[in-house]
Amino acid sequence: MIKIGRITVSLEMREVYLGGELLPLGARAFGILELLIQARGATVTKDDIFEHVWPRSVVGENNIHVQLSALRKIFGDDKQAIRTISGRGYRLTLAVQEVDLGMSASAPMLRVAAGRLNSLPALHGTLIGRESTTTELARALAIGPIVTLVGPGGVGKTQSGIAVARSIADPSGMETCFVALASATRAQSIVSIVAEALGIAPGEGEAVELKELAAAVQGRKLLVLLDNCEHVIESAATVCDVLVQASADVRILATSREPLRTRGEITHWVDPMDTPAVDASPHAILTCSSVKLFLAQLTAFNAAAIGDRRSLEMIATICRRLDGVPLAIELAAARAAVFGIRKLIFELDDRFPFLTGGRRTAPRRQQTLEASLDWGYELLGDPEKLVLQRLGVFSARFSLEAACAVAAFAQLSCNKVTEAIIGLASKCFVGTTCGSNIKEYFLLETTREYALRKLYSSGEADEALSRKAEFLAQSETVSGRGLGMVARRSLTAGEAVASW
C-alpha cells in the first residue's frame, strides 16, 4: 500500500482509500495516478499518459484534463498535489510512502467502487411533446427488463431516455447509470465502457470480462441507460442479455436506430413530433409540439416573437417539410433567428448545406442535418445503400412491387431489394403505413432529399427515373386507375408520424 497525502493507494488492487472508505475512481484516472506514483516526483509527459491510458486510441488532450480533475478532487485541500508543468506534462508534488496495512495480497483483483451510482446527465428545460412517453415507458420497464427506444437520427431518443430514467429512478430509489456507446468500436470496448460506468476497476493489465459485469450487478436495483447502440448492435445486445440475466432487479433502457433483438426486449418507436395540417388554424398550429419547439428555440436565440398568421403558417410549413424531427427543427430555428423565416423556407429546397451549426458541445453527428443521416447511412449494408438511393425517386407512398420495379437492376434482384427494404425499415430509413391489408412504404422528406443526393452522385438517376416512368405507364394500362398503388397522394406530416 502507498500513502500519498490524505489517501492510500493499492497499485495491485487498483484501489484508492480515504481512511477506511473505498473511493470511486475510474480506470483511466487511476492509470494516470499510477504513472505519477511510479515517476516519484519526475515529470510525466502527455505522450506517456496517452500511451499508458489510451493505447491504440486517438483522443484529445481534454480527456487528460477530465481525468486529472477527478484525481485532484480526491486529494482535497492539496490543490498542488498534481502540478502542471507548462508545455511538458505533470508531476506529483506530495511524498510517496510505502506502508504495510496488513492487507492480503490474495484479495480479488476486481472491485466495484463504493457508493450508489447516479450518473444521469441533467435535463435543462422542459422536454416538449414527449409527455405521454414517460408513463408508457415506465409501464414497459415494469413488464420487461429491456426497453429500446428506436427512431431515426435526431428524433430525440437520448433526451427522452434521460427524462424517463429520471422519472423512474427518483421516486423508486434505483441506482442509475448512463453509458454512452458512441465511441465504442468493438465488443471488448463496450464491456470496458460499461464496466467503467458501473464503477468497476480492472486488475493490472487485465480486461473486464462479461462474467465480471454480471457479478458486479448481482443484488443491485439498477437502471442502466445504454445510449447509441446501433453501430455496435450485436455486442450491445449481448451485454444487455448478460446484465438482465444476472439480476432480476436490473432494468435497461437502450437507445438505437434499430431494435437490439434480444430476449425480453420491448421496442418503443420514438415518433417525430406532430406537425400542423396544411389548412390548420393559428390555434391548431400553436398546439403542435414541433411548432412549440421551433418557437422555444427562437426565444432562446432572442429572436423577435412570432404573432401574425402569415408567419405562423410559414413556421407550420417548415415543421412539415422537416418531418417534425427535433434536431432538424432546432437547426432550422437557429438559421431563422439570423436570416428570417422566409429565407429559411426558400433554403429548404437545398437544406443540407444550410442546416448546420448545431451546438458546439454536441457530438459531430448532431451538429448538421447531413451528418445525422451520414451516421446511420454508414451503418447500412451495400445493398441497403443502393436500394435507399434508388427509392429516392418516389415522392409519395409506393408499393413493394413498385420498389422492386425501380430498384432491382444491375446487381440487385427483387429478393435482394425486398431484404434491403426490411433492413431499411428496421433501421428507420423507410416508413411503413399501417391499418391496411396491403403495406405501402414512404421516405420522410429529408431522407428522400438525402437519398436523391446519393442517387445523382452515383450516376444511376437516369436509370431509376426511367424504370419508375415505365412502371407507372404499365400500371395505368393494367389498372385503368391512374397511378394505382404506386404513388397515391403524398402523406401529410401528421399521417407520416402516425404511420412511422
Residue 395 near residue 442 (C-beta atoms within 8 A): no
Most confident of 77-81, 96-100, 409-413: 409-413
Q: Is the pLDDT of residue 453 over 90?
A: yes
Q: Binning pLDDT at 50, 70 and 90, where does residue 480 land?
A: low
Domain shared by 148 and 229, yes or no: yes
Q: In the chain, pLDDT over 70 holds for what percent of residues?
A: 83
Domain shared by 349 and 398, yes or no: no
Domain shared by 162 and 36, yes or no: no
Q: In the chain, pLDDT over 90 holds for what percent of residues?
A: 38
Domain shared by 348 and 467, yes or no: no
Domain shared by 103 and 230, yes or no: no
- Domain boundary (319, 351, 372) is at 372
Domain shared by 265 and 358, yes or no: no
Report, as an integer, the average pLDDT of 403-416.
Answer: 94
Sign for the pseudo-dihedral over CA of 327, 329, 330, 331: positive
Residue 301 falls inside a structural domain:
yes
Residue 125 falls inside a structural domain:
no
Domain shared by 427 and 485, yes or no: yes
Q: What is the C-alpha to C-alpha distance for residues 341 and 293, in angstroms, rounded to an integer?
A: 15
Q: In this structure, what CATH number is given to the domain that contains residue 58?
A: 1.10.10.10
Q: Is the pLDDT of residue 41 over 90?
A: no
Residue 403 falls inside a structural domain:
yes
Question: Beta-carbon neighbour count of residue 17 at 10 Å?
Answer: 20
Q: What is the C-alpha to C-alpha distance for residues 119 and 115, in angstroms, rounded to an integer?
A: 12
Q: What is the C-alpha to C-alpha distance for residues 401 and 479, in angstroms, rounded to an integer?
A: 14
- Domain boundary (225, 242, 269) is at 269
Residue 119 falls inside a structural domain:
no
Give pLDDT tens digits for 148-205.
999 999 998 998 998 888 888 767 677 888 998 887 877 667 888 888 888 776 655 5
Q: How many domains does the chain have?
A: 4
Report, as an integer, the average pLDDT of 85-92.
Answer: 82
Residue 346 falls inside a structural domain:
yes
Domain shared by 90 and 150, yes or no: no
Residue 61 falls inside a structural domain:
yes
3-state secondary structure of 22: strand
Residue with more model confidence, 474 or 319: 319
Structure letter (DSSP) for residue 364? G
Q: In this structure, what CATH number is given to the domain that contains residue 184?
A: 3.40.50.300
Domain ranges, residue 432: 380-499
Give pLDDT tens digits for 58-68.
777 778 888 88
Q: What is the C-alpha to C-alpha distance for residues 493 and 278, in angstroms, rounded to an integer?
A: 9
User: Residue 22 forms beta bridges with which residues?
Assistant: 17
Closest by CA to 323, choosing from 431, 247, 239, is 431
pTM given for the model: 0.70
pLDDT the model gives residue 4: 77
- Domain boundary (372, 392, 409) is at 372
Report, as an integer, the average pLDDT of 18-26.
Answer: 72
Domain shared by 385 and 478, yes or no: yes
Q: Binning pLDDT at 50, 70 and 90, where does residue 412 land?
A: very high
Residue 277 falls inside a structural domain:
no
pLDDT the model gives residue 105: 35
Domain shared by 298 and 244, yes or no: no
Report, as an integer, the average pLDDT of 342-346.
Answer: 91
* Angular region, 145: left φ>0, alpha ψ -120 to 50, beta rest: alpha
Q: What is the C-alpha to C-alpha distance for residues 359 and 22, in angstroms, rounded to an integer?
A: 38
Domain shared by 264 and 137, yes or no: yes
Give pLDDT tens digits for 275-316.
999 999 999 999 999 999 999 888 887 766 677 889 999 999
CA distances from 147 to 152, 225, 253, 354, 476 (A): 17, 10, 5, 35, 45
Q: Is the pLDDT of residue 404 over 60?
A: yes
Residue 118 falls inside a structural domain:
no
Structure letter (DSSP) for residue 17? E
Domain shared by 353 and 254, yes or no: no
Q: Is the pLDDT of residue 54 over 70?
A: yes
Q: Binning pLDDT at 50, 70 and 90, where does residue 27 land?
A: confident
SS3 content of the chain, % helix, strand, coil (to 5): 50, 15, 40
pLDDT the model gives residue 401: 94
Q: Binning pLDDT at 50, 70 and 90, where does residue 333 land?
A: very high
Q: Is the pLDDT of residue 484 over 60?
A: no
